[in-house]
């Protein structure tokens, strides 16, 4: 039977996983999904290709991946079959057929990330795996001002982990970046762009926290986009507050 290519959307709690990508002797999201697909295909290895990797502890509200299969299963039954065998902290939201040349990574047009900062004098044990806790009151106005400098096409070398193996251009385009505080003391940093470097969002957030404290000026963001100096920015924020929110693909 002819193989079909499918695009799947999934949500997961990354707390108990060593990231998305398969690693020796570690529990990962990719490993769990491929294990279920292998059982469904009677021992045949089925590889999935995601829109990108997420690190240990990072969550996803809308991670996308593609896979090829020769099973004759309606799209809605794919969802039921996968969720029936996946652990409770991984949920497939949808599966649709796509063209054979579609690629979940290379065809990405835009990604959205959220980062949650619980800004309260007292920590909440029920938020400890899903947000970074900052007890000192943060200046949202200063943080939002800094966000404005991120928007546009820039060289984000300063916002990339120093141990990154990216050797090509570090120029990326940010379409939107905002900081908002909710009624329950959660500060949500939301950002969308055509691509992100390794640890880029977490370095931005670590810097925004320093700006919110008053340790750094909002213009440190603007300056780092010129000097490309990682040392002028804040620490890398913890992985647990980061969510891959949405992946957008070109319509064609």
- The catalytic residues are 55
134: β partners:
119
Q: Cα separation of 200 and 180, whole Å? A: 19
Nearest-10 Cα torsion for 97, 100, 102, 105: 100
Among candidate residues 61, 5, 53, 57, the one with its CA nearest the CA of residue 30: 53
Report how far residue 46's alpha carbon sits from residue 53's, in angstroms, rounded to the nearest whole number: 18
Does an H or E element contain 78, and which? Answer: helix 75-85
Residues paired with 171 in a beta bridge: 155
User: Which residues does the annotation place in the binding site for substrate?
Assistant: 113
- φ/ψ (deg, to 5) at 182: -90, 175
3-state secondary structure of 20: coil
Binding-site positions:
113
Tell me which DSSP letter residue 208 carries: H
Task: Describe the chain by its helix, strand, coil percentages, rounded to 5.
Answer: 30, 30, 40
**Contact yes or no for 28/20 (Cβ under 8 A):** yes
Contacting residues for 197 by C-beta, under 8 A, at least 6 apart: 156, 159, 160, 161, 164, 166, 170, 172
């Amino acid at each position: 039977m002819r193989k079909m290519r499918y695009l799947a959307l999934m949500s997961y709690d990354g707390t108990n996983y060593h990231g998305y990508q398969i690693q020796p002797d570690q529990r990962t999201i990719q490993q769990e999904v491929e294990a279920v697909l292998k059982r469904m295909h009677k021992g045949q290895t089925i590889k999935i290709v995601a829109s990108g990797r997420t690190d240990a502890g990072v969550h996803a509200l809308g991670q996308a991946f593609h896979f090829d299969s020769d099973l004759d299963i309606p799209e809605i039954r794919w969802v039921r079959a996968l969720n029936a065998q996946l652990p409770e902290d991984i949920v497939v939201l949808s599966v649709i057929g796509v063209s054979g040349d579609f690629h979940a990574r290379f065809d990405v047009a835009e990604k959205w990330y959220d980062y949650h900062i619980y800004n309260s004098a007292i920590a909440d044990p029920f938020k400890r795996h899903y947000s970074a806790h900052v007890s000192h009151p943060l200046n949202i106005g200063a943080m939002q001002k800094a966000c404005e400098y991120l928007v546009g096409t820039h060289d984000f070398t300063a916002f990339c982990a120093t141990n990154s193996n990216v050797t090509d251009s570090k120029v990326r385009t940010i379409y939107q970046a905002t900081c908002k505080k909710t009624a329950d003391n959660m500060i949500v940093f939301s950002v969308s762009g055509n691509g992100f470097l390794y640890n880029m969002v977490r370095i931005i957030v670590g810097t925004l926290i320093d700006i919110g404290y008053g340790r750094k000026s909002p213009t440190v963001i603007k300056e780092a986009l010129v000097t490309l100096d990682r040392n002028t920015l804040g620490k890398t924020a913890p992985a647990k507050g980061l969510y891959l929110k949405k992946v957008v693909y070109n319509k064609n």
